[in-house]
Amino acid sequence: MRVGSHQEEANSRHEAHVCIRDLEHRFPSGLTAVNDVSLNVGVGELVVIVGPSGCGKTTILNVVAGLLPIQKGDVLIKGSVPLAGRKDTAYMFAQDALLPWRTVMENVVFGVEVRVGKSSIDSKTRDKARTIIANVGLKGFEDAYPRQLSHGMRQRVALARTFMMDSPLLLMDEPFGALDAHTKLTLEQELLRLWEQSRRTVLFITHDLAEAIFLADRILVCSARPGHIVSEIEVPFPRPRDLNALQQCEEYHRLYQRIWVDLSKEMVKQV
């Protein structure tokens, strides 16, 4: 039985925010990045995709974002085909992509400025940005430039910019992957706190299984290239979560091992 049918049953209680059926994407070189990908993400759900490097995880996000065309299959966001630049989707990349000539405040409001025009950046918008900047621990750095910030602080700015856009769908491609362990955990906690407040729909990519378990409602394991979803795992732990407490729990280690076994089978295929 295809994983997609399992997901339809598992998500029957959710209104689908993102619905992908039988997605295939081939690059001009002839490389097939993903094949027969089917998945649902419910409204307000936080779903994490893990998989071997090069298996097509980012390709899935790029198609959902409208940055790559739908060559074969169906992709719908709230019933509509994804288009680049649509206001209901925000994308946080692995690199912070801050504009070096703009201050923290100016970077945080940049997405809003692009969408609705510079004239829309009024005092109310800036007050909202200040609140979000404070929420990610950067109060007092509103007028600083990216060159004056550590890598972790720059990622905080990128996270603030993502939430500033008020998009109901957030796509996050290994946003904390290059950070040290302490900063990474801090930003994971900030993400969950902001998500708990807004309950936006999140599709998140990571290679870190501990991060996946800490963040996710569900974890999808992607196969070796060409990627497709080989298993779906519900994360049973209640929220809010404490990673240290989770890691003392036997069920956490069983879940980690289960994901690792599924992932290892796919990693071997790429060797």
Q: Which is more confident, 114 or 226?
A: 226
Query: Is the separation of the CB atoms in 174 and 155 below 8 Å?
Result: no
State how far the Cα of 154 lies from the Cα of 206, in Å rounded to an integer. 19
Mean pLDDT of 177-187: 89
Using the structure block, give the residue that is written with the tokens 């201050």: 103
267 CB contacts (<8 Å, ≥6 apart)? 52, 224
Looking at residue 14, what is its pLDDT? 57
Looking at residue 3, what is its pLDDT? 46
Count helices and strands (H / E) in the chain: 10, 9
Q: pLDDT > 70: what percent of the chain?
A: 94
Find, among 24, 56, 58, 20, the residue nearest to 40 by Cα: 20
Task: Give first-to-last CA distance, the chain, whole Å.
Answer: 27
As a whole number of Å, the CA-based R_g of the chain is 19
Whether the pLDDT of residue 116 is over 70: the answer is: yes
Question: Residue 239 — φ and ψ, nearest 5°?
Answer: -110, 155
Find, among 207, 176, 258, 204, the residue nearest to 53 by Cα: 207
Find, among 162, 15, 166, 16, the residue nearest to 88 by Cα: 166
Average pLDDT, the chain: 90
Whether the pLDDT of residue 5 is over 70: the answer is: no
Looking at residue 271, what is its pLDDT? 61
Looking at residue 1, what is its pLDDT? 31
Q: List, by residue range, all CATH 3.40.50.300 domains of the chain.
A: 1-88+170-175+182-270
Looking at residue 87, what is its pLDDT? 82
Task: Render pLDDT for 6-65 as a digit per residue (tens, 0 to 9).
Answer: 444 344 445 899 999 999 999 999 999 999 999 999 999 999 999 999 999 999 999 999
Q: Kindly state the tokens that stand for 244.
A: 């240290």
If you ran DSSP here, which 8-state letter would residue 222 be given? Answer: E
Query: Is the separation of the CB atoms in 49 and 222 below 8 Å?
Result: yes
Measured CA angle at 94 (ends 50, 26), to 5 deg? 60
Task: Render pLDDT for 71-112 as a digit per residue (tens, 0 to 9).
Answer: 999 999 998 888 777 788 999 998 899 999 999 999 999 988
* CATH number belonging to the domain at 1-88+170-175+182-270, selected among 3.40.50.300, 3.40.190.10, 3.40.50.720, 2.60.110.10: 3.40.50.300
Lowest mean pLDDT among 10-19, 141-150, 195-204, 253-262: 10-19
Q: pLDDT > 90: what percent of the chain?
A: 76
124 CB contacts (<8 Å, ≥6 apart)? none
